[in-house]
Each structure stands twice: as C-alpha cells, then as structure tokens.
Amino acid sequence: MKLNTISLKIKSVFNIDLWQEGLLCVIYALLKDEIPFTMAFLIILILFIKHKKWWLALFFVLLLNLPINDTSPNTYIGKIIDIKNNYYIVQTETHKVLLYSDMNLNYDDSISFKGEYELIEGKYSNYGFDFKKFNNRQNIYYQIEANDIALIKEGISIRNIIYSNTDSLFVKKFIFNINSDEDIISSFINSGYCFNSFLYLFLGLFSIFIKPKTLDKFELILLIFFGIFYHFNFISCRLLLNFIFKKLKLNNKQKSGWLAFFSICFFPHNIFSLKFLLPYGINILYGLKYDKNYVTLYKLLLQSFLFSQVNLILLVGYKYFSKILGFCYLISIFHYFIDMTFIITIINNCLTIMDYFIIYQSPKSIILILLLIIHIIIPYKNPKVLTITIIILMYLGLFFPFASVSYINVGQGDSILIKDYFNKANYLIDTGKESAYKSLDTFLKAKGVKKIDILFITHYDSDHCANIEILKKDYEIENVVDYHFDKIESNFTFYELNNNYLDKNANSLVLYTMINGKSLLFMGDATTENEKNIIEKYPLLKIDYLKLGHHGSKTSTSLEFIHSIQPKLAIISSGNFAYYQHPNPQVISTLNNLGIPYLVTNDDGDIEIYFTSLGEIIVSSNKKISFVFNPNIFNHDIIRAR
C-alpha cells in the first residue's frame, strides 16, 4: 500500500508540466553566449513572468549562472576519467583538467604528475570548432603538459579492462567515443549516440522473442550496466530517465520539460551540445503536435548552425543512420572477441560515402531571418518548401547578400577573404601557415566558397603562403597573383602600392581596394620604410579599414603613417601574445594615442565587415558587434590619379 502511495506521489510530481519553463531556460542558455548577458536575461525574464511558474524558471536560470571555479588547480594527483585522441581528462580533488602526455594511461588510473597549469587556449571562430568553449562547457578550464607521471593505482573497472585489452581503433571509436574528427558523423559518434542506437536496436530485435515485462527488466539491467560502464554520463542518465518517463506514461511535452530540468540541474554544460539539443527539440516539436516536416527543418537548422554543413542522409534518413550506428556498436563488441575486419572495412567505406552528401555553408544571415519571417506570415505554411529552399540556397552559396571582408583567425599569420555580394566573386589574400589550414578550410566552406577568383600571396613567408598547394587541390583557383602590379580589374579593382625590395617582408604586396565607397588597405608584412614611401607617393591617401603590417610588429605601423592615412578601424592578425609578442605595445600605444579603434584576431577571433548601402556591420567571433552609419557613399580618386 505504501509503495502504491509513493508511486502515485512520484507520478503526480512528474505530471507537472514544465515544458514552457524548460524551453525558455534552454533559449536563455543559448542566447547568453550570442548576445550580451544582461540583454538575454531581460528578454527571458519578460517571458518568464507571463507564466504561472516563472519563479521556477528563474531558479533554473540561476542554476545556469552559478559561479565557476576559476582558481588555478594546486593539486597534482588525480584519476583518469576520460581518454581522448591526444589527451586525457583528469579529475583532481577540485578540478577537471586536460592532461597532455605520451604515456600510455588507462581509464580510472590514479596518477601523480608534474607540470604547470595553463588556461585552455582556443581560437575564436564564427564557424569553426572552438576547443576552449567546448571544454569550458564541460566545466574544464585548465590544461597541463605533464611530466614525471607516476601510476599510484591501476584502475579497477570494466572499461579499464576492455580498453587495456584492445588496440582496435574501431572499438575505441564506437565504444569509447575516441575520435579526432569534428564533422557531423563524428560528432554523433563522439556524443554517445552509438550506445543510444544500440540499445533501441537490441530491444527491437529481442521484442520479437521476449515478453514486454521481461524485456523491460532486460532494458533496466542494460541501462544500469552501461551507466556504471560510462560512469553515468549524460547519455546513460538520459536513457535511464526516458525509461522512467515510459513507465510513468508521460507525454512528449512533459518529457521535454523534465529533460530540461534534469539537464540544467545535473548536466548544465550539455544543453549546448548535439546530445541534448537533438532529442530535446524533437520532443518539443512532437509534443506541440507539429508536422513531421518541422522536425526535418529543425534537424537542418541544428546541423547547419552547429557544424556549418548539412549531411542530406542524416537529414532525411536519420532513423536508418541511427540503426547503422547501433549496428556499429554491436560489431565493435563482437570485434573485441573475434576478428570482424572484413565487416569493419565495409562499414568504414559506407561512412566515407556519406561525406559525398554534405552541403557546406552556414545560413547565419539576414536571408534566413527573412525566410523564417515569410514562412510565419504567409497563409500556406509548408515547412518542406522552406527546408528545400534553404538547402538550395546553401548549395548555391547564396546566404550572404552583402559584399564583405573577413579577417580569418588563423593564429600567427594572415588570411583575408573578400567576397562580392551573393557569392559572385571571391578573393583570398594569403593562406596562413600549414597548421591553420583547418581553420581556413572551415571558414571558406561555411561561406559557401567553391571557387577563388584571385589568390593574392603578399610574400613567401610560411605564415602567409604555406597552404597554396592544398588550396589548389580543394578549391578551384583561377589566378594566383604573387607579383607586383599596378592595377587588376575584376568585380573589385585592386591596386598594389609597394615597390620592389630585396628584403622579403619589405617586398610584400600592399593591396588597396574599395567596397561601397569605403577604402581598404592590406599591408602584408610591409615595413615602416614601405609606409614612408606610400605616404610620400600618395599624400592624400585616407583609409577606412587598415590591416596592420607584420601582425602589429614594431617594424611596421609608424606614427607618421597612421597619422597620415587616418584609418577608421585597424585590424591586427596575430597569434598568442605570450609566444610572438604581437601586437607590440608600442603599436597599440600609437593607435590609442591617435584614437584609432582596433581589433585583434587572437582576442576577437574572425572579424567580418559587411558592406551595405546604409553602412558597415562589423562582427567578431567574441560577439563584438558595431554598425558604422554611412550617410554618403563617396568615391576616392587618389589611386586612380597614379
């Protein structure tokens, strides 16, 4: 009798409908990274107070903003709680930290180590993978290059035994989620969806032979076993929660509300991830009884926003792909005991084929906003038409209606993309160094670039030119300009202002162009001597947007030069100051003394300037946004006079 009473009380608690509050909390959590904290707080607070349980939603928000433990770790003893492709995650007494070491360690090993803790570095990017943010969202803020590692105690766990007895990359990929790639398919694998899919595949197969009550017992045993195996991570806990929801016969709205509550309370960092956003969003849509085509539209937007690409197979056939993931998990279990190399080869080839169904481009633009507004307003609301329209626009690269200049965050180096409106023409100035190619490639694909009309190479230092050959392989490049010239006319007209010098840096191309009546100057690694010659030759030259020479080094950017050309904004493309000492404090002092605002790619990430008839919109990866009003479109005749 008491058990029935307790059961009824539990059910009555779970019958509380939290879906609106949960949804608002998730929206808030996403917005606070995209717009200033106070603005996001006010917007969501206004929505909260319209609901009866607004105080509960506000409580969720406060949970999302608990102060982080930002003090540096001071202990050097911990346990290996996770293994990644090139680092370990260690739980010390007070912190979770990344540990880099070549030593072969295993799950749940207790170790001591030496080294110096550093904050995790990351590259701000509008479209690429942000390693710092990825770890911060898991409450990991510090890393250490460890040495003198000593094994205190070997781990004693099931996953320790399995991991230590296999060298198979396939087993490590699907059972332990150890995978270095960052594409969509790899993200599904890394997020733990393989076990999720395996569970439902297993239950589906055995439901043919086993009675429902017995099958429920098997499911509960499996969930508890894998919860222990994965140390009750987010996926295993979510599946256990779903099992409880199923027993309590909750509807989709109730499920989504309690999933949000559970996630915010116990796994707040996971609400930014694919493993939460995909099932939560689908539950919400089904709970609100939306057409299944809205689920497809949601998956499209989720893929494109998280990865700046869309895999069409995952879009229309995720149900079948999830079964393939479950099958891969099953094969990896068999492969642990017997050789399944032949089947694994077939699976890997099939997964590779899926790459041919990827459409690259990020639809983050005013075009998407307009499409969504039109879809809401027009009487005939067909989400399938909207989905197909977005796919076509992505494929054609038509999501960017304005001419733009993007200073790509490639670390210590230069790479600048100049685009004409609606992808009519693309020009790239320099390629960055070899290690920066992934950042460059991700950015170009997100912008829908397939062809580069002109690749300008300012000079042949590796941090400006190292990726020429791989770019030629991956993109259609019509023309490479690495020589001095007077004038090149294309969709934009480019002028080169420098003369020939013997010194490599001094011999950099110095490029000038105009977009919507605004002047832009790109200095390469030109020196103060070059600057002196330029202002002597063009004494009336004025610049709106200046890319400083040599990454803000003191060998460039003289007081006389800046005073003469009077830039409205200076951009510095540089790497970590601790390593390169760029930008030089003397250069920053010059800019400050003359009242010239500046942005630095190392601090601000990708810096994009969109040119409209009303003015320029300036956006950086760390959410600095400015609008420069342009009441008069004027023409500069300075260069034409040469």
Distance CA 400, CA 322 (A): 33
Question: Length of the chain, please?
Answer: 642
Task: Concatenate the DSSP letters of all residues of 345-398 into one string.
Answer: HHHHHHHHHGGGGEEE----SHHHHHHHHHHHHSSS--HHHHHHHHHHHHHHT-
Instruction: Supply the DSSP symbol for 475.
Output: S
Instruction: Select the more confidently predicted residue: 58 or 308.
Output: 308
Distance CA 341, CA 428 (A): 44
What per-residue confidence (pLDDT) applies to 64? 64
According to DSSP, the β-strands at 511-515 and 518-522 are antiparallel
Distance CA 590, CA 563 (A): 9
Residue 398 has pLDDT above 90, yes or no: no
Return all residues near 17 (Cβ < 8 A) that are at least 6 apart: 253, 254, 257
The stretch 233-248 carries a mean pLDDT of 89
Residue 177, both tokens:
């989620």
Distance CA 169, CA 184 (A): 19
Distance CA 479, CA 494 (A): 14
What per-residue confidence (pLDDT) applies to 150? 93
Residue 11 has pLDDT above 50, yes or no: no
Residue 401 has pLDDT above 70, yes or no: yes
Alpha helices in 550-600 (DSSP H): 559-565, 577-580, 585-593
What per-residue confidence (pLDDT) applies to 526? 93
Q: What is the pTM of this model?
A: 0.84
> What is the SS3 assignment for 297-342?
HHHHHHHHHHHCEEEHHHHHHHHHHHHHHHHHHHHHHHHHHCCCHH
Residue 318 has pLDDT above 90, yes or no: no
Residue 44 has pLDDT above 70, yes or no: no
Helix (H) or strand (E) holding 482: none
β-partners of residue 418 are 405, 427
Q: How confident is the model at residue 51 (pLDDT cuts 50, 70, 90)?
A: low
Percent of the chain with pLDDT over 90: 44
Residue 638 has pLDDT above 60, yes or no: no
β-partners of residue 140 are 96
Residue 369 has pLDDT above 70, yes or no: yes
Q: How confident is the model at residue 253 (pLDDT cuts 50, 70, 90)?
A: confident
What per-residue confidence (pLDDT) applies to 181? 67
What per-residue confidence (pLDDT) applies to 528? 93
Query: What is residue 212's three-state secondary structure?
Result: helix
First to last CA, the chain: 96
Instruction: Supply the DSSP symbol for 120.
Output: P
Task: Concatenate the DSSP letters of all residues of 28-73 into one string.
Answer: HHHHHHHS-HHHHHHHHHHHHTTSTTHHHHHHHHHHHTPPP--SPP
Residue 499 has pLDDT above 60, yes or no: yes
The stretch 582-586 carries a mean pLDDT of 89
Angle (deg, nearest 10), helices 341-353 and 312-337: 170
Instruction: Select the more confidently predicted residue: 339 or 47.
Output: 339
Alpha helices in 180-233 (DSSP H): 184-190, 193-206, 212-229
Instruction: Select the more confidently predicted residue: 282 or 403.
Output: 403
- pLDDT, tens digit (0-9, with 9 covering 90-100), for 605-624: 899 999 998 899 999 988 78
Distance CA 33, CA 564 (A): 39
What per-residue confidence (pLDDT) applies to 8? 45
146-160, 364-378, 547-561: least confidently modelled range? 364-378
Q: What is the dihedral of CA 261, 262, 268, 273, to 10 degrees?
A: -100
Task: At 309, give phi and psi (nearest 5°).
Answer: -160, 160
Q: Is the peptide bond before 67 cis (omega within 30 degrees of 0)?
A: no
Residue 338, both tokens:
């017997």
Distance CA 190, CA 138 (A): 14
Residue 642 has pLDDT above 50, yes or no: no
Q: How confident is the model at residue 344 (pLDDT cuts 50, 70, 90)?
A: very high
What per-residue confidence (pLDDT) applies to 89? 94
Instruction: Supply the DSSP symbol for 269.
Output: G
Closest alpha carbon to 87 in 134, 152, 155, 154: 134
β-partners of residue 493 are 489
Amino acid at 513: T
- pLDDT, tens digit (0-9, with 9 covering 90-100), for 156-172: 888 999 999 998 989 99
According to DSSP, the β-strands at 110-114 and 454-456 are unpaired
